[in-house]
């Protein structure tokens, strides 16, 4: 596996999600479930706190969900200077369908007219780029104006 | 009950000026200034300090300061997790060391300087920002807090007027504090509304300042504190996180919260007091919205009636229902990673605040909101024990 993101390793956070980024770089959205009791585990961790298993499954997940929260950022920060040309941009926090409420961030692309908590979104996967700090990324687009609170 | 209720008290405070970023000189020197000032305020020789406690990514460790303080023996040192969430918890660590006889004079402190530090990314965030954030254009704490506060406003229906009230109360208090960086900045409704967006729903005035500086408080045992009529006793300072909270990359529940639910319950249980007993509060606000969430978490109001409590009139000294951030807070006094709030918590009990609440007996400080673990402290005068 020659995943490019590993050359740009971001060391913060828990660090149990390599499989997520590998899959994303291969064009697939995969999230973590316990290999024994089947509980969804997000962010991915190394051991299931419910049953004690160290085994994981990484099933394919359809990149659709509901907006849980959002922010529109109006300036670049020290580690997001590659997005200086894109400000203001909207970042969504999305509850992904069929994952027991796992939430994933992603930049909003396309029209923002229907942007609201509860709006339905669909994601597309983008290859590693400077603006995503050498990692692959998931971007979201609003599906319709329909809102389901 | 942990047995720590009233076991230790703050008897000295020290605070440097809030220098503009990168003009304050070395952090270690600033730290020494604050600690020496706190020791002198307590009438204790700096060399008699035998315990050093801080939080976050503090790099002015006790051992580095020993030669300059004339330390006779360093007997205890520790760091409370994590970031600004650990500030009141650091008081708890200090009290634990004192109550168990490991140290007699413990200083709790924090120093920051851009002169030789790297500020938010390293000194405050500890370079621990997850890929899920950075890959998606989220870097600064203000952006992560924005997602929580958007959920509070749009998701739970708390009015944005509460954010403005938090900001205006802080700037109002700063007008009587000559040492505040916001002194001279009158924050009218129009001025607030005109200020630029940083990350919605936050405008410039919703965000904390950054400064070079240091602050310190000296704690001793309750027995030794009897010599100090204005000692500020630590009634409770729990630190923690309940299941469903922690470094969960936006998966915390509920995300509108600042994470204090379990900690606040322990604070009230251990101290024996309730929100309505509190005379004055210093609410760590990296952003206004997280301060609003902290007030709700601590039971001062609910999601439903937050807008009734959190108004400018209610939040200002001397006669508001709950005066907050009476020296200006992180927003308008200045930002030394929240440590200035501890100093003001003590000043209120001594009756020496520039915005004194009459006869303040119970003084609360809530730590960095929304952090992976958080802590709060209730301090009181001797008659609250
Ligand atoms: Zn399991």
ipTM: 0.95
User: Cα(B385) to centroid of ligand 1, in Å?
Assistant: 46
Whether residue A40 lies within 8 A of chain B, CB to CB, comes out as no
Q: How confident is the model at residue B214 (pLDDT cuts 50, 70, 90)?
A: very high
Q: What was the pLDDT predicted at A145? A: 52
Nearest CA in chain A to B131: A10
| CA–CA separation, B367 and B348 (whole Å) | 17
pLDDT band, residue B61 (cuts 50/70/90): very high
Q: Report the pLDDT averaged over residues B33-39.
A: 98
Residue B225 near residue B5 (C-beta atoms within 8 A): no
Per the CB < 8 Å rule, is A105 touching B138?
yes
Q: What is the pLDDT along chain A (149 residues), one digit of tens a residue?
A: 579 999 999 988 999 999 999 999 999 999 999 999 999 999 999 999 999 999 999 999 999 999 999 999 999 999 999 999 999 999 999 999 999 999 999 999 999 999 999 999 999 999 999 999 999 999 999 997 555 54
Phi, psi of A141 (to 5 degrees): -130, 145
In this prediction the pTM is 0.96
Residue B126 pLDDT:
66
Query: Which residue of A6, A7, A11, A12 is the best one to mutate when testing the B interface, meaning the one whose CB has the most B CBs within 10 A?
Result: A12
Q: Looking at the partner chain, which of A13, A72, A88 has a beta carbon nearest the beta carbon of B130?
A: A13
pLDDT per position as a tens digit, B277-299: 999 999 999 999 999 999 999 99
Q: Do B130 and A117 touch (CB under 8 A)?
A: no
* Cα of A108 to nearest chain B Cα, Å: 10
**Looking at beta carbons, which residues of chain A come within 8 Å of B251?**
42-43, 101-103
Q: How far is A133 from chain B (nearest CA, A)?
A: 6
Put simply, the answer to whether B129 touches A21 (Cβ < 8 Å) is: no
- CA–CA gap between residue B241 and residue B229 (Å, rounded): 35
CB atoms within 10 A of CB A59: 13
**Residue B1 confidence (pLDDT):** 47
pLDDT of the residue at B118: 65
If pLDDT is split at 50, 70 and 90, which confidence band does B92 have? Answer: very high
Q: Is the pLDDT of residue B2 over 70?
A: no
Q: Which of A8, A41, A74, A77 to mutate to test the interface with B (most CBs of B within 10 A)?
A: A77
- The minimal CB distance from B255 to the residues A14, A17, A69 is found for A69
Query: Is pLDDT at B129 greater than 50 in this prediction?
Result: yes
List the single residue in B138, B148, B198 with the smallest CB-CB distance to A91. Answer: B138
**Residue B128, by phi and psi: left (phi above 0), alpha (psi -120 to 50) or beta?**
alpha
Contact by Cβ (8 Å): B367, B376: yes
Are B224 and A96 spatial neighbours (Cβ–Cβ below 8 Å)?
A: no
- Percent of chain B, pLDDT > 70? 97
Q: Which residues of B54-80 are buried (b: 16+ CB within 10 A; e: fewer)?
A: bbbbbbbebeebbeebebeebbbbbbb
pLDDT at B359 over 90: yes
Check if A2 contacts B (Cβ < 8 Å).
Answer: no
Average pLDDT, chain B: 95
B348 Cβ neighbours under 8 A, 6+ residues apart? B279, B280, B326, B356, B357, B360, B363
Residue B210: the pLDDT is: 84
Residue B3 has a pLDDT of: 83
Per-residue pLDDT band for B213 (boundaries 50, 70, 90) equals: very high
Q: Which pLDDT value is given to residue B123? A: 64
Beta-carbon pairs below 8 A across chains A and B: 127
Task: Pick the residue of B57, B131, B206, B372 with the most A CBs within 10 A to test the interface with A by mutation.
Answer: B131
For residue B220, the surrounding DSSP H or E stretch is strand B213-221
Phi, psi of B242 (to 5 degrees): -85, 165
Angle between helices B27-42 and B62-69 (to 10 degrees): 60
CB proximity under 8 Å: B 134-173 to A: 134-140, 143, 146-148, 150-151, 154-155
Report chain B residues whose CB lies below 8 A from the CB of A46.
none
Provide the pLDDT for residue B163: 98
CB contact residues (below 8 A), chain A span 47-66, against chain B? none
Question: Which of the four pLDDT bands, split at 50, 70 and 90, describes residue B57?
Answer: confident
A113-122 pLDDT, tens digit each: 999 999 999 9
């Amino acid at each position: 596996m020659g995943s490019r993101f590993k050359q740009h390793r971001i060391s913060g956070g828990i660090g149990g999600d390599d499989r997520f980024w590998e899959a994303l770089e291969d064009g697939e959205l995969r999230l973590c479930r316990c290999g024994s009791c089947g509980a969804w585990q997000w962010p991915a961790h190394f051991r299931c706190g419910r049953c004690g298993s160290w085994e994981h499954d990484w099933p394919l997940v359809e990149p659709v969900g509901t907006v849980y929260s959002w922010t529109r950022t109006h300036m670049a920060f020290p580690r997001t200077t590659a997005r200086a040309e894109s400000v203001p941009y909207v970042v969504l926090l999305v509850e992904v369908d069929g994952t027991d409420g796992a939430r994933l961030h992603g930049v909003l692309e396309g029209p923002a007219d229907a942007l609201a908590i509860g709006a339905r979104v669909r994601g597309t996967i983008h290859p590693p780029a400077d603006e995503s700090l050498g990692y692959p990324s998931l971007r979201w687009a609003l599906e319709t104006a329909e809102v389901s609170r | 009950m942990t047995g720590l209720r009233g076991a230790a008290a703050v008897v000295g405070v020290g605070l440097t000026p809030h220098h503009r970023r990168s003009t304050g000189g070395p952090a270690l020197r600033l730290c020494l200034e604050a600690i020496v000032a706190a020791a002198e305020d307590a009438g204790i020789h700096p060399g008699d300090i035998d315990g050093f406690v801080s939080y976050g990514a503090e790099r002015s460790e006790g051992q580095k300061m020993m030669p300059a303080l004339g330390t006779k023996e360093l007997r205890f040192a520790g760091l409370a997790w994590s970031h600004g969430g650990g500030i009141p918890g650091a008081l708890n660590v200090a009290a634990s060391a004192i109550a168990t006889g490991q140290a007699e004079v413990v200083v709790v402190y924090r120093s920051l300087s851009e002169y030789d530090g790297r500020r938010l990314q390293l000194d405050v965030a500890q370079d621990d920002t997850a890929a899920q954030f950075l890959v998606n254009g989220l870097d600064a704490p203000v952006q992560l807090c924005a997602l929580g506060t958007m959920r509070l406003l749009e998701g739970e229906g708390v009015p944005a007027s509460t954010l403005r009230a938090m900001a205006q109360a802080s700037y109002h208090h700063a007008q009587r504090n000559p040492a505040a960086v916001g002194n001279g900045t009158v924050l009218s409704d129009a001025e607030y509304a005109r200020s630029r967006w940083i990350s919605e729903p936050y405008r410039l005035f919703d965000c904390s300042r950054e400064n070079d500086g240091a602050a310190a408080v000296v704690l001793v045992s309750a027995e030794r504190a009897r010599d100090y009529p204005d000692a500020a006793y630590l009634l409770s300072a729990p630190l923690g996180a309940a299941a469903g909270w922690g470094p969960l990359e936006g998966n915390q529940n509920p995300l509108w919260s600042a994470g204090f639910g379990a900690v606040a319950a322990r604070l009230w249980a251990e101290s024996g007091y309730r929100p309505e007993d509190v005379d004055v509060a210093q609410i760590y606000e990296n952003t206004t919205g997280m301060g609003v969430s902290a007030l709700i978490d601590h039971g001062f109001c609910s999601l439903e009636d937050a807008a009734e409590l959190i108004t400018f009139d209610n939040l200002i000294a001397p006669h508001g229902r709950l005066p907050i951030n009476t020296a200006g807070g992180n927003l308008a006094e200045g930002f030394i990673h929240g440590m200035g709030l501890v100093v003001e918590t003590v000043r209120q009990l001594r009756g020496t605040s520039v915005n004194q609440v009459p006869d303040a007996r119970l003084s609360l400080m809530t730590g960095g909101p929304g952090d992976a673990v958080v802590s709060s402290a209730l301090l009181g005068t001797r008659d609250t024990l």
